[in-house]
Amino acid sequence: MCGIAGYVDFAAGAPDREILTAMTKALARRGPDASGIWADGACGFAHARLSIIDVDGSPQPMAFADSDVGLVYNGEVYNYQELRAELQALGEPFHTQGDTEVLLRWVAREWSDALPRFDAMFAFGAWDKRRQRLLLGRDAVGEKPLFYATPAPGVLIFGSELKALLEHPMLDPELNEDALRQALRFRAIYTSEGLSRGVRQLEPGGFLEFTRDGLTLGRHFSVTDEVRKAKREQAGVDDAALIQRGREIFIESVRQRLVADVPVGAFLSGGLDSSLIVAAMRAVRAPGAQIETFSVGFEGDPHSELNYAQTVADACHTLHRPITVGPEAYIRRLAELSTCRDGPVSQPADVAIAEMSHLAKETVKVALSGEGADEIFAGYPKHGYANPPWAMRKALAILQPSLAAKLAGMLGMDRRRALVAFRAMAGVTELDRLVQWFSYFDRDGLAEMFPGLGWSDADLARTVATQAAALKDVAAEPPLLRMQIVDFGTWLPGNMLERGDRMTMAEGLEVRPPFLDKELVAFGLALPDRLKVRKGVGKWIVRQWAKDLLPPEITNRGKWGFRVPLAEWFRGPLRDLVHGYLTSADGLVARYGDRQVVERLLRAHDSGEVDAAESLWTLLTAEVWYSDVYLPRRKRRMTGSSAPTKLRAVTAGE
């Protein structure tokens, strides 16, 4: 796991080594172990390394006299030993022991055609010295980030994070308001565009070739094609055989993700997914081998999962280290982590994950985690409502979601969560329903809160263009699979995986999610609905895998997730923080919002009239990013200063 960057400038010729060095420094948190730059012709690469495999060898950027290709690479190729053996049988020489050279040698042989060979998470840049062409590639699911920009003819700049690209003088951190609308609506950016205009992200499963003639995009993995292929393979296979086959793929995925030359641990929440991963680690590792696990809870949380995590740790005989996070961590780290993410910190749990990663890196350099299980095997409560009955939708349209949620609260249900669900199910079209599940605001709320961003029909259509395209591609599939495919192409890479990458790499820790093995992804999505959701319970097949590996109190638990006690914190220790930012005279609300509407929301939450914690979180993190990251970067570019502007202090009582 590393940070990569570089650029090609066919007009200027030899790259500026100062720019490459600045790119490397911008990515230093991703790779604290080593750094390097390399140049050939019009191309220059920069690399910051977190050493995982072949720790003392495999320096990057990598290039050899006996190869036409130079490489800069972030990720892990889990099947590198098998691929290395294939090349050795063909007489290919090797100078190192790691996966980096395996990737380099295959790309040198087959260029973009080599990408389907890799069972891997990766983002890389490869330069063909002889033919003067650049290849960028990104893994099938989007675990590793890769941004690029073409600010002038014959110029392409790329990197693991936006901040590295912005070290190039041709790039201007001008705000992309379309991306900002998405961030406010969904707490993530789902398009290939970013918050800086002109900067794009290579799509999961995609590759890019850049030559003097221009830029060409292609794909090496299509989830819809792979799911249709898996469906054909599953046709006629009984449920017992499918359960067994899925378990085998999962166990093998865990085994592969334990390959490293450094200690590997696991995040353990006490939920089904992370618990099953830890149980599988225990099953495949040598008897008596030490497994380290880490979990996080929250101060003042009456529903803490720490006891469940300890139950699993005891059952699997792990060396377990829990940590409790309080509001002080949010005051201390919110601006810092927004800088790491180059955007708003999307979910309250992100800060806790960064804190847990800080703890974990003291003893391990790699942690396995459960991202993707809910998206692949239908684990969210909403998956039981992928096709809500017409009568329910009609009733919600008449009653209105807000009133229905109020009645639900009177009946003892979680009013806030009921409102999210009722808004989604009341949508007129399937697209309306699917996109609303992950939004705390509806159209009217957004327009009222941020009138300066317009929210015209065209504006709103652009915020859901990626979801619309994904839905169109699977129009003939069942409703549950349609919902999953939309989330797979949007919520998963745009939020969950970006969060997983940035919050762990901020601490120099590599995270590996076994549920995102590309064979397991296709297998899981292709399953019939009855193996995903049964009697309202999601991830049914995953629960079958867990029955003989975990205690029943874990196997039978419902979906819980990280639930930060924000409502109480925003009325108490974080009140000054949220009020200070959202009523600032020179921030995002001041530029685009209606301050009276925002202040009314703050008062309603303070009084207990409503629980607006998630809405306020969305506003707060957008404001922190705008005030403490975007504006200082913009100011530095306008003034020509190369020194970072000190972030505004995030302190209570401001």
CA 14, distance to chain mean position in Å, is 35
Q: Which are the contacts of 224, defined by CB distance < 8 A and separation ≥ 6?
A: 473, 474, 485
pLDDT in tens, 577-595: 999 999 999 999 999 999 9
Helix (H, G, I), strand (E, B), or coil: what is residue 265?
Answer: strand
Q: How many CB atoms lie within 10 A of CB 610?
A: 17
In a 13 Å sphere around the CA of 300, the CA atoms on its Cβ side amount to 11
Burial pattern 166-189, b for ≥16 Cβ within 10 A else e, equals bbbebbebebbbbbbbbbbbbbbb
pTM comes to 0.93
pLDDT at 421: 77
Q: Which amino acid is at 187?
A: R
The mean pLDDT of the chain is 92
Helix (H, G, I), strand (E, B), or coil: what is residue 462?
Answer: helix
pLDDT at 395: 78
Are 274 and 267 contacting, i.e. CB atoms less than 8 angstroms apart?
Answer: yes
pLDDT at 452: 96
- Please name which of 107, 68, 122 lies closest in space to residue 510, comparing C-alpha atoms: 122
Cis peptide before 61 (omega within 30 of 0): yes
Report the DSSP beta bridge partners of residue 76: 121
Helix (H) or strand (E) holding 541: helix 540-546
pLDDT in tens, 60-95: 999 999 999 999 999 999 999 999 999 999 999 999
Query: How far is residue 324's CA from residue 352's CA, in Å, rounded to a whole number?
Result: 9
CA 645, distance to chain mean position in Å, is 27
Q: Is pLDDT at 323 greater than 60 in this prediction?
A: yes
Average pLDDT over residues 635-651: 55
Report the sign of the C-alpha dihedral through residues 413, 414, 417, 423, in that order.
positive
Q: Please name the residue that has the structure tokens 């991703």.
A: 30
In a 13 Å sphere around the CA of 525, the CA atoms on its Cβ side amount to 31
Percent of the chain past pLDDT 90, that is, above it, reads 80
**162 vs 416: which has the higher pLDDT:** 162
Query: How far is residue 507's CA from residue 469's CA, in Å, rounded to a whole number?
Result: 35
pLDDT at 373: 97
Q: Is pLDDT at 410 greater than 60 in this prediction?
A: no
Q: Which are the contacts of 32, defined by CB distance < 8 A and separation ≥ 6?
A: 48, 50, 508
pLDDT at 338: 97
Q: Is pLDDT at 210 greater than 50 in this prediction?
A: yes
Are 335 and 309 contacting, i.e. CB atoms less than 8 angstroms apart?
Answer: no
- The radius of gyration of the chain's CA atoms, rounded to the nearest angstrom, is 24
pLDDT at 42: 97
Q: Is pLDDT at 558 greater than 80 in this prediction?
A: no
pLDDT in tens, 219-255: 999 999 999 999 999 999 999 999 999 999 999 999 9
At residue 652 the predicted structure's pLDDT band, cuts being 50, 70 and 90, is very low
pLDDT at 644: 41
Are 334 and 621 contacting, i.e. CB atoms less than 8 angstroms apart?
Answer: yes
pLDDT at 415: 67
pLDDT at 648: 35
Average pLDDT over residues 439-464: 92
pLDDT at 13: 83
Report the DSSP beta bridge partners of residue 4: 47
Report the DSSP beta bridge partners of residue 292: 319
Query: How far is residue 151's CA from residue 157's CA, in Å, rounded to a whole number?
Result: 8
pLDDT in tens, 375-401: 999 999 899 888 888 777 777 777 776
Write down the number of H helices and E strands in the chain: 31, 17
Q: Is pLDDT at 495 greater than 70 in this prediction?
A: yes
Report the DSSP beta bridge partners of residue 206: 219
Average pLDDT over residues 347-362: 96
pLDDT in tens, 126-178: 999 999 999 999 999 999 999 999 999 999 999 999 999 999 999 988 999 99
Report the sign of the C-alpha dihedral through residues 602, 603, 604, 606, in that order.
positive
Rounded alpha-carbon distances, angstroms, from residue 324 to 289, 296, 311:
27, 6, 17
Q: Is pLDDT at 653 greater than 70 in this prediction?
A: no
Q: Which amino acid is at 243?
A: I
The token duo for 325 is 């996070």
- Interior angle at CA 203, CA 440 and CA 215, nearest 5: 135
pLDDT in tens, 250-306: 999 999 999 999 999 999 999 999 999 999 999 999 888 999 999 999 998 878 889
Average pLDDT over residues 619-624: 97
Q: Poorest-confidence range of 404-408, 414-418, 465-469?
A: 404-408
Q: Which amino acid is at 615?
A: S
Are 263 and 537 contacting, i.e. CB atoms less than 8 angstroms apart?
Answer: no
Q: Which strands sit side by side in the sheet containing 264-267, from one edge to the other?
A: 319-325, 292-298, 264-267, 366-368, 510-512
Q: Please name the residue that has the structure tokens 């939309």.
A: 486
pLDDT at 618: 96
Average pLDDT over residues 475-503: 95
CA torsion, points 50, 56, 58, 61, in degrees to nearest 10?
A: 60
Query: How far is residue 517's CA from residue 498's CA, in Å, rounded to a whole number?
Result: 17
Average pLDDT over residues 53-64: 89
pLDDT at 443: 84
Rounded alpha-carbon distances, angstroms, from residue 457 to 100, 463, 469:
47, 10, 17
Query: How far is residue 310's CA from residue 606's CA, in Å, rounded to a whole number?
Result: 35
Helix (H) or strand (E) holding 319: strand 319-325
At residue 455 the predicted structure's pLDDT band, cuts being 50, 70 and 90, is very high
The structural domains of the chain, ordered by start, are 2-221 (3.60.20.10), 227-378+510-555 (3.40.50.620), 381-487 (no CATH), 566-639 (no CATH)
Q: Which are the contacts of 647, defined by CB distance < 8 A and separation ≥ 6?
A: 335, 336, 339, 628, 629, 632
Total residue count of the chain as it appears in this document: 654
pLDDT at 241: 98
The token duo for 637 is 């570019």
- E strand segments, 129-198: 133-138, 147-149, 155-159
Rounded alpha-carbon distances, angstroms, from residue 337 to 238, 580, 647:
47, 19, 11
Q: Which amino acid is at 167?
A: E
Are 223 and 489 contacting, i.e. CB atoms less than 8 angstroms apart?
Answer: yes
Query: How far is residue 312's CA from residue 102's CA, in Å, rounded to a whole number?
Result: 37
DSSP type of residue 627? I
Query: How far is residue 635's CA from residue 246's CA, in Å, rounded to a whole number?
Result: 53
Query: How far is residue 23's CA from residue 169's CA, in Å, rounded to a whole number?
Result: 11
pLDDT at 349: 92
Q: What's the N-to-C CA distance of the chain in angstroms?
A: 38
